[in-house]
Structure 1
Amino acid sequence: MARDKRREELYVKVPNLFRCPISMDVMKSPVSLCTGVTYDRSSIEKWLALGHNTCPATMQTLPSTNTTPNLTLRRLIQLWLAHADGTQASPSSLVISKRQAAEIVSGELDSASLGKMIGFMTASEENLKFVALSRDAVSRFVEVFAKSGEIRIREQIVEILDLISQENGMRERLNELILNCGDERDYLSSFVMVLQKGNSESKVKSAKILELIAVNTESQRKIAEKSGLLHELYTLSTAEADTSVVEAGLSALLAISTTRPVKKELIRFGIVRTVGKILSGSDYSCPVRGVIEKALAMLETVATCTEGRSMISEDAECVVEIVKRLMKCSGVATEHGITVLWSVCCLARDRVAQEKVAKVNGLTKVLLVMQSDCSANAKQMCGELVKVLRAKNTKSNLAPYETRTTHIAPY
């Protein structure tokens, strides 16, 4: 009874700043929209997954649904929770100084010291830049990442690298340390371990770092050819329960899938079938816009090789879902979808694919896309698709449609 009363008191005393405007619970992972309003990541992702394109608090239309981690607020919440629960020391004693941070870096790095470093970096932007600008610190973290056999330590270092990854010059710095270090240490094997055994958050951050350092053809090749790494990234795209994991996996795959051998390997894994399920939503809970865009971009990538076009054509569900998604998600997603349909129906001239598209009213959808505010290249592909699909729709009243028409009536 006393415990329930204490919980109630703590709940009442929660600062409004720490509550998510949607769930009204204390935020675990605060992220901000472009409107400046901060929400808990899980809550805002569910809101966006339902198809909303507005900020829940202000109802402003969102020009972008990208979210930015609010590191300062997250740290404040962590300190408040620690103090409120009485399980740790007071907040003031939890924040280490820059001198102490430098001493930690130069000493033996274990899970406890890395935890202090993460707390130091998330306490302020100034602290974050202090670590990012230290060449010795970044090098030390990467070195321990390769040497340590403990998954927890590797997870913590991935979090540290993710925190500093967006600082100026860090992309090139991490690329140099991880992929072009010149020594015999295998840094990529550490990422394989985290992707295999780490928690979901660490897997997402690992995928983002790998995407970040894939700065050129050589970097992309090294990542893609590392034994087990490509498959682990593919496995992320099959994580039905967590759209953030799926999106991170697809993003990383898109960054490194630049050669035919890599595309063929992904096709062998089953990427076309996986994307078909994502688009249908049959095994996924309301895929968010970013996931759909990247899923269709992945299909566009594999459709650049013969094997990819053949596999897409053979997957009835995949072709049908592409047509259904046209003009239902975003302009970017629609143009990816049109490119894929053009690849299998016009470039490959696959009759089976043409018939599948025609049966689900694909001609009408393509005509609507052509009349929308799409790119000139997309309009040209739409025109070629209309010619092909019109032949498959001889019974349709759109059969005599002239592709140069500038307007069609909606119906």
Structure 2
Amino acid sequence: MVKEELYITVPSVFRCPISLDVMKSPVSLCTGVTYDRSSIQQWLESGHNTCPATMQVLPSKDFVPNLTLHRLINLWVQSSTRRPGSDSPRLLQAATPAISEVQAKLLIEKIESESCADSLSKVVEFVSFCEENRRFVVTLDGFVEVIACVLTRKCVEIEALEMSVRILDLILGEDGVKERLNKLILKSNQENNILSAIVLILQNGSLNSKIKSVRVLDSLALDSESKRKIADSQNLIFILLHLLKTSNNQSLNDAVTSFLTTVSITRSIKSLLIQNGAVEILSNTLTEKSLKLLAILCTSSEGRLAIGSEPKWAAGIVEKLLKMSKTATEDAVLVLWSMCCVSKDEKVKEEVAKGNGVTKILVVMQREGEGNVKMMCRDLVKALRAGCKDRCLGSYETKTTHIRPC
């Protein structure tokens, strides 16, 4: 006969705020909060002089047994351990995280002095459990800085670094976290650098940790100063492009491409990307995110030259032209316009025309309202009409005044 297992939720008042277990010997502090005797003794004997739940300073560390609660717990346990008419025990299951808020505070104190992967793992479990837990830890004085500090310490095991990045990724959406981390990155020096630890994770960490690391980097690039510092750090551009070239994981590739798009704000960063093969990597994938970055790179003459080195890439863009979102279509048009109208690359024009590019560009132009995209489409039709078999386009004229790339 199969034993039937029934699950019940333990009343929260019966749980110790520190251990989260059902209290065996409930005792109350002078603050009125009740704990299990063994848990509160351990807290007080470790040197604390506050109530763990309220953080009030204790005028007295004495505690008294809570006999009423003890009696209620005993009655509840007796009624819950057996089903009426059956000898099968009932199993208790709590809809609570593995650690409490009090334990989280203790773990943070421990992490501040010792970068222990086990302690960080428990904090990960706590902040993963619910939004309330994430809000709670962010309000703790110095929590963000303590977790970030793990990344700056020397000789920290890779598991601890990965746990720290995972915690940061989980709390990035909370108020003020990005700004606090941004300041830490700008203040850090070469020898004590958060970015160095993230680079180490990108090189040696798990796939999941790499994705989270890139997301953290992207979220911290809040202004031009932080974008330049992050992009210039620790051969980061080369490492990310290598990941983009070798990874088959779309989530990682999307995260890397989004980050590279975010930091591509200066001519020097664009040049660094181009020199390290970004155009070839992006042109061979042609996702919507890679088109966004290609559109940025083609605003420089160096980028246009790189794209023109392999005309078949333009044919690939034409092939996808009517199969993408509106934003990606606009990026594709910008790349084609840059090559055909700014660089006037004849080989690219030939590839675009051979791929039925004129017809597709006309379709895009017809569904666009007035604006730069429609004007670029007109320019493209005019530039491509000489090679188009449809001679009715021969008299098509355009007048544009939009700003061209440098």
Determine if the TM-score, normalized by the shorter chain, exceeds 0.5. Answer: yes
> What residue in structure 1 maps to residue 142 of structure 2?
136
Give a deviation string over 1:24-55, Cα, whole Å, max 9, x none. xxxxxxxxxxxxxxxxxxxxxxxxxxxxxxxx
For 2:290, which of 287, 295, 305 is the aligned residue? 295
Q: Does the residue aligned with 1:132 lie in a helix, a strand or coil?
A: helix
Q: For the structure 1 residues 105 and 332, does the alpha-carbon distance in structure 2 shift closer, same or farther, using more than 3 Å as the test?
A: same
> What residue in structure 2 maps to residue 219 of structure 1?
226
- Identity of counterpart residues, as a percentage? 38
Q: Supply the AA of the counterpart residue of 1:111.
A: A
TM-score for both structures, normalised by structure 2: 0.71
For 1:95, which of 79, 98, 110 is the aligned residue? 98
Are the aligned partners of 1:331 and 1:374 in contact in 2 as well (CA < 8 Å)? no
Give a deviation string over 1:226-260, Cα, whole Å, max 9, x none. 12211122223224421001100101101111111
| Separation in 1, partners of 2:338, 2:206 | 38
Range 189-198 or range 128-137, more displaced:
128-137
Are the aligned partners of 2:185 and 2:194 in contact in 1 as well (CA < 8 Å)? yes
Q: Quick check: 1:151 aligned with 2:145?
A: no
Q: Quick check: 1:199 aligned with 2:206?
A: yes
Larger Rg: 2
> What residue in structure 1 maps to residue 259 of structure 2?
252
| Separation in 1, partners of 2:273, 2:264 | 9
| Separation in 2, partners of 1:172, 1:375 | 38
| Separation in 2, partners of 1:192, 1:326 | 36
| Separation in 2, partners of 1:327, 1:374 | 16
Deviation at 1:93, TM superposition (A): 8.2
| Separation in 2, partners of 1:143, 1:322 | 44
Deviant stretches of 4+, over 4 Å: 89-94, 181-184
Q: For the structure 1 residues 138 and 256, does the alpha-carbon distance in structure 2 shift closer, same or farther, using more than 3 Å as the test?
A: same
Deviation at 1:264, TM superposition (A): 1.4
Give a deviation string over 1:151-194, Cα, whole Å, max 9, x none. 11111111000000111222111101222357962111111101
Deviation at 1:122, TM superposition (A): 1.3
Note the 1:382-401 alignment, pairs <5 A.
382-393=377-388, 395-400=389-394
> What residue in structure 2 maps to residue 173 of structure 1?
180
Q: Quick check: 1:210 aligned with 2:220?
A: no
Deviation at 1:145, TM superposition (A): 1.4
Give a deviation string over 1:285-305, Cα, whole Å, max 9, x none. xxxxxxx22110111111011
| Separation in 1, partners of 2:319, 2:95 | 55
Are the aligned partners of 1:155 and 1:194 in contact in 2 as well (CA < 8 Å)? yes
Q: For the structure 1 residues 268 and 182, does the alpha-carbon distance in structure 2 shift closer, same or farther, using more than 3 Å as the test?
A: closer
Q: For the structure 1 residues 370 and 196, does the alpha-carbon distance in structure 2 shift closer, same or farther, using more than 3 Å as the test?
A: same
| Separation in 2, partners of 1:103, 1:265 | 45
Q: Supply the AA of the counterpart residue of 1:102.
A: K
Q: Supply the AA of the counterpart residue of 2:165.
A: V
Deviation at 1:348, TM superposition (A): 1.4
| Separation in 2, partners of 1:127, 1:135 | 15
Q: Supply the AA of the counterpart residue of 1:214.
A: A
Are the aligned partners of 1:276 and 1:318 in contact in 2 as well (CA < 8 Å)? yes
> What residue in structure 1 maps to residue 299 of structure 2?
304
Are the aligned partners of 1:238 and 1:274 in contact in 2 as well (CA < 8 Å)? yes
Deviation at 1:195, TM superposition (A): 0.5
> What residue in structure 2 maps to residue 127 of structure 1?
133
| Separation in 2, partners of 1:268, 1:143 | 34
Note the 1:350-389 alignment, pairs <5 A.
350-373=345-368, 376-389=371-384
Structure 2, gaps ≥5 residues long = 8-91, 399-406
Give a deviation string over 1:76-120, Cα, whole Å, max 9, x none. xxxxxxxxxxxxx96568621111101111113411111110111
Note the 1:40-79 alignment, pairs <5 A.
none
Q: Quick check: 1:340 aligned with 2:335?
A: yes
Q: Quick check: 1:104 aligned with 2:107?
A: yes
TM-score for both structures, normalised by structure 1: 0.70
Deviation at 1:276, TM superposition (A): 1.8
Q: Does the residue aligned with 2:322 lie in a helix, a strand or coil?
A: coil
